[in-house]
A and B are shown apart, each in its own frame.
Chain A
Amino acid sequence: MPSGKTVWPRLARPIMLVPALALLALAALAGCQGSPLALNPQSPQAGSISTLAWTLFFIALPVFLLVEALLLFTVLRFRNRRGAEEPPQIEGNRRVEILWTAAPGVVLLIVLWVTFQTMAFVLESPPESMQVQVIGHRYWWEVKYPSGNFTTANEIHVPVGQTVRVDLTSIDVIHSFWVPELSGKVDMIPGHQNHAVFRALNVGTYRGQCAEYCGVDHAYMGFLVFADSPTTFAAWVQNEQQPAAQPTTAAARQGQELFASSACIGCHTVVGTPARGVIGPDLTHVGSRTTIGANLLPNTPANVARWIADPQQVKPGNAMPNLHLRSDVVDKLAAYLESLK
């Protein structure tokens, strides 16, 4: 029977490796592109949460290792001592019990303090913030710019360096607005107005996704936030404020007529045309967006045609029905929509 003391370091090493590896993996991920990492903050708000997370981590890690090591040591040290006499029948020790009741209390007070500090910072919403309104729909995002008086969908543009207050609500069920690199989650609840506040620090495109289960296509309810330089942003606003462009090619012109005389206009708006529907995304400048279907597919003529031909095949369960259009009609409609830059 090996004594507990010699066994302990041998067994302890692999156990210690687990958190160490986890830490390494985290560090590696923090640098990796692609995932919308909460720990790769691109706004002061997400930054303060990330700092908080690391603070917590470094408070928790030693506590975790200490308690697990204590457990492991106790088990190995006092195991299987056959033949040993009956251990002393100790029923407790009031003093140490009070101590280990109080000790976690003190640690938690510290945690609570940093919690409140961060909360105050993240919730702060300066009055000069730019305002954007986002309304959740099953399964896409309506985006309104009250200052510019225009509406778009699924892609939110903000100027870098400007604090933005996103007013959030929902038209149907509960959704949740989440752009991990810019802001924590804020639920979008029918009948409630909530707010997310962030200031993008760097030009870039940030991925967001609905974070409250909202139905069949919950997994496909994504969106993008573009943090633009102030000039790019101004140009984008300038363009969005224009009514829809007039088509220039023959196919697109035919598409425009087909669009205006079909069911599309019951659900979609194209400013400057008779299309005033509000069930689906505003298509006035759909050609200038980078994705369709709530960040599901890249916005290419082929994909738009695929979508129009059978939206239920692309994103089963979404609110746009298959209208059973002939493929030449589909192509013309796609040509028209793609021309709406």
Chain B
Amino acid sequence: MSSRSEAAPAEPWGSEGLLSWLTTTDHKRIGILYIVTSFAFFLVGVTEASLMRWQLAQPQNAVLGPEQYNQMFTMHGTTMIFLFLMPMLTGLGNYVVPLMLGARDMAFPRLNGFGYWLFLLSGLFLYSSFLFSAAPDGGWFAYVPMTDRAYSPGRNIDFWVLGVQLLGVSSIAASVNFVVTILRLRAPGMTMNRMPMFAWTVLVTAFLILFAFPSLTAAASLLMLDRFLGTLFYSAPAGGDPLLWQHLFWAFGHPEVYILILPAMGIISEIVPVFSGKPLFGYIFVAWSSVAIAFLGFIVWAHHMFATGLPAAVQAFFALTSMIIAVPTAVKIFNWIATMWGGRIRLQPPMMFAIGFIALFIFGGMTGISVAVVPFDWQVTDTYYVVGHFHYVLFGGAVFGMFGGLHYWFPKMTGRLLSERLGHVQFWLLFIGFNLTFMPLHLLGLMGMPRRIFTYLPNLGWDIPNLVSALGVPFIVLSVLVFLYNVSVSLRRGALAGNDPWNAVTLEWLASSPPAPYNFAEIPTVRGRRPLYDLKHPDRPDAAPRA
């Protein structure tokens, strides 16, 4: 490990004041910038979602018109995926991974800053479309030919396609940085086999991004050529093919959902052992299940296209691969439960969110298998059943995981503890609101309600489930407000955290809270998977796993 950077580059504009934040290359500050910015986008996404659910609360409601509604779901989906979840998980990774590895910063601190500012810029660029009354309206997967110039002559799709391209560059920059950091900057003695599970999932995710985004870039470039230069890649009358977009997009889009969920699974794999007082059960299985998911994730994309009339053999193949990918996912669930089994479980907020994650992910995972069942998917694809399914994995999964992570690492980032009482209130509000909002959607799908419709006629039996779903939203909003309140109060008046408030086992808890700019005065040497446990129990450290 000779190439380890000995210290973060000096902060050119000092360490205080606005200018120091604008010019920072410290991974912790960049992490916080990512987290705060993406959380702001989350609030925007929730607002858009609330408007949509309000519009759909009753048949033929007039909260939003069709154009507005179409912009809302497009921007909601695009925001939640590209401007909230990805950068949020990048932010947590940025803050935590170098600390976990015993490194002083990311491998390329300036590239790191570039990634953040490009993300912010692309986000603002996407949202500037509202100023021109041209917010994107093609849905988050922007199917051609509807998004081609011929059918979307406005600037709306231009904003989307350019914004997404820029975000791709930002994500790739962050991923290169993670790969090099994780492969090159681990503390002495920290072999891959001893690396914290969150670092594992961030590494796998970074590789996923590096291999998946080029497909999106290709798809979007062709669309840009079609739109700006009048080429006809996707135009059927000219011999192009609309399905080309779908293949290219989903070859990115499916790995993308693992890009969103894997780091959250990594967070859960950190929290569950700490709050159970046990090591992660089956480290090797959990680590390699992520790798397996990553590989399989590249050969399941056409399960988004079962209604497009692919040959039966092709559909059968993608059903098969989609079922196989459920196996490594199930493995993780069992390993987490086994980690808790026989442990001493502390039901503090991070753990509550982790348990919530597992409980909801079991459901989302099972409805996921159901949509891999091709004929069943013919009925439910493009309906609210699918909307229900993916909110169970993205919201019930990734967002619960994120809140777990924020509650878990907040003391490290700020030196203060969040209120546990408010944490529990937030959790239960979110858990109840979430299920109220999204459980009825599965029913709606089976009752024939397509997704992406701005309204519906009465007498179809859809009124009550839609109303119930809308009633869940205030709980979710309240829960988010409780969290914000908790953060703002605890930042000033929270109990002091100390270095290691949770009795945790990984290296970030060795550093002070918040850590010094250089993280560690002395780089620790590692000989097991739980370096802090070994330090606390010098009499009986873990057996050192094979290097």
Query: Residues on A close to B: CB < 8 A?
Result: 18, 22, 25-26, 29, 32, 34-39, 46, 48-49, 52-53, 56, 60, 63-64, 67-68, 70-72, 74-75, 78-81, 84, 86-93, 96-97, 100-101, 104-105, 108, 111-112, 114-116, 118-120, 122-123, 138, 172-174, 176, 178, 180, 183-187, 189-192, 194-195, 207, 209-219, 316-317
Across the interface, B327 reaches (CB within 8 A) one of A104, A120, A187, namely A104
Residue of A nearest to B308 (CB): A187
Query: Residues on B close to A: CB < 8 A?
Result: 65-67, 70, 139, 143, 145-146, 151, 236-237, 240-243, 276-285, 307-309, 312, 315-316, 319-320, 323-324, 326-328, 330-331, 333-335, 337-338, 340-347, 355, 358-359, 362-363, 366, 369-370, 373-383, 435, 439, 443, 446-448, 450-456, 459-462, 542
- A32–B447 CA distance with the chains assembled, in angstroms: 10
Q: Given A35-B460, A35-B461, A48-B375, does the pair A101, B346 have CB atoms closer than 8 Å?
A: no
Chain A nearest CB: distance from B139 CB in Å? 5
Contacting pair A92 B323 (CB below 8 A): no
Residue of B nearest to A104 (CB): B330
Residue of A nearest to B540 (CB): A89
Q: Given A49-B378, A119-B374, A212-B382, does the pair A187, B307 have CB atoms closer than 8 Å?
A: yes
Across the interface, A112 reaches (CB within 8 A) one of B315, B319, B382, namely B319
Q: Given A74-B337, A100-B330, does the pair A174, B344 have CB atoms closer than 8 Å?
A: no
- A296–B250 CA distance with the chains assembled, in angstroms: 34
Q: Which chain B residues lie closer than 8 Å to A49 at the CB level? A: 375-376, 378-379
- A311–B435 CA distance with the chains assembled, in angstroms: 40
- A216–B278 CA distance with the chains assembled, in angstroms: 55
Q: Given A25-B443, A192-B243, does the pair A184, B378 have CB atoms closer than 8 Å?
A: yes
Contacting pair A35 B285 (CB below 8 A): no
- A172–B152 CA distance with the chains assembled, in angstroms: 12
Contacting pair B146 A317 (CB below 8 A): no
Q: Given A53-B379, A112-B320, A112-B323, does the pair A38, B363 have CB atoms closer than 8 Å?
A: no
- A25–B465 CA distance with the chains assembled, in angstroms: 11
Contacting pair A79 B285 (CB below 8 A): no
- A72–B459 CA distance with the chains assembled, in angstroms: 39
The 10 closest A-B pairs by CB, nearest first: A184-B378, A191-B236, A36-B448, A35-B461, A219-B453, A194-B309, A190-B236, A92-B282, A173-B146, A213-B452
Listed by A's residue number, 6 A-B pairs whose Cβ atoms lie within 8 Å are A84-B344, A100-B331, A108-B327, A176-B307, A178-B448, A209-B448
Chain B nearest CB: distance from A116 CB in Å? 6
Q: Given A119-B316, A172-B151, A218-B452, does the pair A92, B284 have CB atoms closer than 8 Å?
A: yes
- A123–B373 CA distance with the chains assembled, in angstroms: 14
Residue of B nearest to A215 (CB): B146
Q: Which chain A residues lie closer than 8 Å to B355 at the CB level? A: 71, 75
Residue of A nearest to B334 (CB): A100
Q: Which chain B residues lie closer than 8 Å to A22 at the CB level? A: 439, 443
Contacting pair A26 B379 (CB below 8 A): no
Q: Which chain B residues lie closer than 8 Å to A32 at the CB level? A: 461
Contacting pair B327 A115 (CB below 8 A): no
Contacting pair A87 B337 (CB below 8 A): no
Contacting pair A216 B143 (CB below 8 A): no
Contacting pair B281 A34 (CB below 8 A): no
Q: Which chain A residues lie closer than 8 Å to B315 at the CB level? A: 119
Contacting pair B362 A71 (CB below 8 A): yes
